[in-house]
Chains A and B, each alone.
Chain A
Amino acid sequence: MTRNLTNRVRVWLVAGLFAASVVLSGSFATTAQAQNKDPIKIGFSMALTGALAGGGQQSLLAMQIWAEDINKKGGLIGRPVELVFYDDQTNPKNVPGIYSKLIDIDKVDLIVSGYGTNLIAPAMPIAIEREMVFMGLFGMDNNSKWKYEKYFQILPAGPNPAVGFSQYWFEAVESLKPKTIAVIAADAEFAQNLKKGAVTNAEKMGLEIVYEQNYNPKTADFTPILRAANAKKPDVIYIASYPNGSAGLVRALAEVGTDAKAVGGGMVGLQFSGLMAGLGPMLNGISNYDFFVPEPTMDLYPGAGDLIARYQAKVKADSLKVDALGYYLVPWSYAYVDILGQAVNAVGSLDQDAIAAYIAKTKFTTVVGDVKFGPNGEWDQSRTLVVQYQDIKNNDLSQFAQPGTRKILLPGDIKTGDLQTFGSLRK
């Protein structure tokens, strides 16, 4: 009896482990509309679990909405679109294997990147070796060394992204007449690229860098780092961080405080619904980058509002466990596959050289307005916003869907508020 029981338990265990491994390796192909022709397969890795999954999951849903839209219109060059994707677990080590499998075994026709610089970097050599068009989703300067002519990415940080990304933040804080700056950055590809750009901008402005340190992503408590930075009495603090670090530093700012007049700049994760609601009033005073916020002047992206409304309705109707608001990545994730789709339709084939040449020379009309790529496949102009968290009263997520909690400081033509000193917005 015991023996039988043991065997039965073993069978269940093996079944459980198998089920888990299938779920984890996660090949979830979208069901294309029933059309007789072979589908065009678009392959990619995506951070569906791990530190960047808050962004990865909303990107995936936006891409699925695009696939539905395009299939309703008859697909690309008369063939339905099918998305083939795997979870990279926010781990760059998983990425090369995923793209090899997508190209060699799944035989995808087109590839696009997963979300984020750290996950784009390990896929670049494969895209280059196979000479495929590679659309990037929020890559920070991934192509500066490769100079691969078939790479195009959607982060609107301008032709020199590392510098362009933080340029507006430095322009915004100039009104405070700072003389010194502290720079804190995560030990990761994205944050390091951002730090380099921030240091260049700081030097251009004549700021003295009094503190410059990197932190390990495993850091559990950030108060010693903030204290060490405060001891150097910086006028402003630039932070390039990933979600865990961003939340840790925001809490440290609440506990230790700072005399710096402006804090923030390149903090990833503060745009995610979970962290915005969780940190609530602790965000007040932080000035940070963003790309789309629910301010009245954001109507320069006419399609984005409608897309976000559809995304939010879908999340609610299907009770999906993804970012409830979707401001941060949804329009851009939709746009980067849409540009690829528009190019395929215009070229009329899957010829990678022809698609790349078309993307390089064309100005695309998308849900994030007109997009034109410049050198290295980056945007030809920066459209990064600088926002400041103001008037956040509690931990209710719905306030972040209303205008006023993230005032746009720059660019000037869509500005909705003025930069106030960090201390003046704290209790």
Chain B
Amino acid sequence: MAVFIDLLLNALVIGILLGGFYAALAIGLSITFGLLDVVNIAHPTMLVLGAFIAFLLNSTLGIDPILAGVIATPFFFILGWLIYQVYYNVFEKSGAESLRGLAFFFGLLFIIEVGLVIQFGVDHRLVEAPYIGESWNIIIGEEIDVAIPFRLLVAFVVASIATLAIRAYLTKTFFGRAVRAVAQDMMALRLMGVDPIRVKRIAFAMGVATAGVGGALMIIVLPIEPSLGRLYLGNVFAIVVLGGLGSISGTLLAAVIIGVAESIVATFFGPSWAPAVSFGILLAVLAFRPEGLFGKTAGAH
């Protein structure tokens, strides 16, 4: 029994922490895809770019990866700003964003990936930090030992702070409310004298800017190589959809649900079932709540 409780507690703790990490990967997409309807399929690859920047600053200057991620954030904000400018002028303005816009982000994904291959090569990269490879053990009684890997704890704490900060920004500030208004009714916003394109541009840049810290968390948790983004493409979209399009806290909760489900299944039923269960949850939720866990119903838009 003690062994079972030990495994269960560990699976729950790891699952919640892993969920925080998944949230960090998905949060930017929750803004760009969830709120703004821009299908940025290059987002996971931008995270990999963020991870390589963290690697570069860590391996050459010895900067902590999280700090490196913070340093890279303004760069990603500008990158996002420029990308949206091109996307709007070339595709969205003429109403050609659906298929050609998708092709644009697909192309962007490849350009970033090839750029990374040329600059860094294809080897797996890791970073050094005092909290990688160490864990915090909470011992209860004689047989229960909950090990919390520091790298996952750091990822969880940073991801939670980032998610809550973005949520607060979008709900409490004027500009944040304008972003949500853009998602609901662009025309109404225009009538209020606000330039919806400017709002969307800044919001898109914010979504892309999360790739700075998100990428740093990625390289803390996993070894990275340029094509890694493609592996997590399905997962991050699944989390955003599960959480409900446009809901930031829904994304965090969905990420934690997926993390806990994967961890419990990997512990008790075998790791090969973990992805099937995650996508099973997504299908089940969509069957009963097509708008996702925290999404607004279609009528509200």
Contact = CB atoms under 8 A, between A and B. Distances in A.
Interface of A: 2, 5-6, 9-10, 13, 16-17, 20-21, 23-24, 48-51, 53-54, 56-57, 89-90, 187, 213-221, 223-225, 227-228, 231, 243-244, 247-248, 251-252, 254-257, 269, 272-275, 278-279, 282, 320-323, 395
A223 B147 CA distance: 9
Contact of A278 (B18, B151, B223, B235): B223
Contact of B7 (A49, A231, A254, A321): A231
Nearest to B107: A17
A221 B152 contact: yes
Given A223-B149, A225-B267, A251-B132, 16 more contacts: A17-B111, A21-B110, A24-B114, A49-B226, A53-B225, A56-B122, A215-B272, A218-B232, A221-B221, A228-B7, A255-B133, A255-B147, A255-B149, A256-B147, A256-B149, A278-B126
Contact of B123 (A21, A24, A256, A323): A323
Given A21-B110, A322-B121, A219 B266 contact: yes
Contacts of A21: 110
- The prevalent SS among residues of A at the interface is helix
B59 to A, nearest CB: 9
Interface string B261-300: 0111011101110110000000000000000000000000
A221 B223 contact: no
Given A6-B89, A213-B272, A243-B223, A57 B122 contact: yes
Contacts of B15: 224
B298 to A, nearest CB: 31
Contacts of B198: none
A244 B222 CA distance: 8
Chain B residues touching A, range: 35 or more
Nearest to B109: A20
B235 to A, nearest CB: 7
Contacts of A9: 86, 89-90
B135 interface: yes
Contacts of A213: 270-272
Nearest to A257: B147
B14 A223 contact: yes
Which of B89, B123, B126, B133 neighbours the largest number of chain A CB atoms within 10 Å of its CB? B123
A89 B14 contact: no
Contacts of A218: 231-232, 235, 275
A214 B270 contact: yes
A23 B118 CA distance: 10
6 contacts: A2-B89, A49-B227, A89-B227, A219-B266, A220-B21, A278-B127
A269 B135 CA distance: 24
B68 interface: no
A216 B275 contact: yes
B3 A224 contact: no
Contacts of B232: 218
Given A9-B89, A49-B226, A269 B122 contact: no
B108 to A, nearest CB: 9
Interface of B: 3, 6-7, 10-11, 14-15, 18, 21-22, 86, 89-90, 103-104, 107, 110-111, 113-114, 117-128, 132-135, 147, 149, 151-152, 221-223, 225-227, 231-232, 235, 262-264, 266-268, 270-272, 274-275
B123 A282 contact: no
Nearest to A280: B128
Contacts of B147: 223, 227, 255-257
A24 B109 CA distance: 12
B11 A321 contact: no
A247 B274 CA distance: 19
Given A48-B122, A231-B3, A321-B122, A217 B133 contact: no
Contact of B125 (A2, A6, A274): A274
A278 B107 contact: no
Contacts of A225: 266-267, 271
B18 A220 contact: yes
B136 to A, nearest CB: 10
B227 A57 contact: no
* Shortest beta-carbon contacts, A-B, top 10: A321-B121, A278-B126, A274-B123, A53-B122, A215-B271, A254-B133, A255-B135, A17-B107, A255-B149, A247-B223
B135 A20 contact: no
Contacts of A323: 123
Given A216-B275, A223-B149, A13 B107 contact: yes
A215 B264 CA distance: 14
Contacts of A187: 272
B123 A54 contact: yes
Contacts of A50: 122, 225, 227
B126 A279 contact: yes
A228 B235 CA distance: 24
A20 B152 CA distance: 35
Nearest to A216: B275
Given A51-B225, A255-B135, A278-B125, A224 B107 contact: no
A218 B113 CA distance: 19
B266 A275 contact: no
Which of A16, A213, A227, A282 neighbours the largest number of chain B CB atoms within 10 Å of its CB? A227
Contact of A6 (B90, B135, B235): B90
B76 to A, nearest CB: 20
A272 B123 contact: yes
A221 B272 contact: no
Which of A16, A24, A255, A322 neighbours the largest number of chain B CB atoms within 10 Å of its CB? A255
Contacts of B225: 50-51, 53-54
A231 B117 CA distance: 41
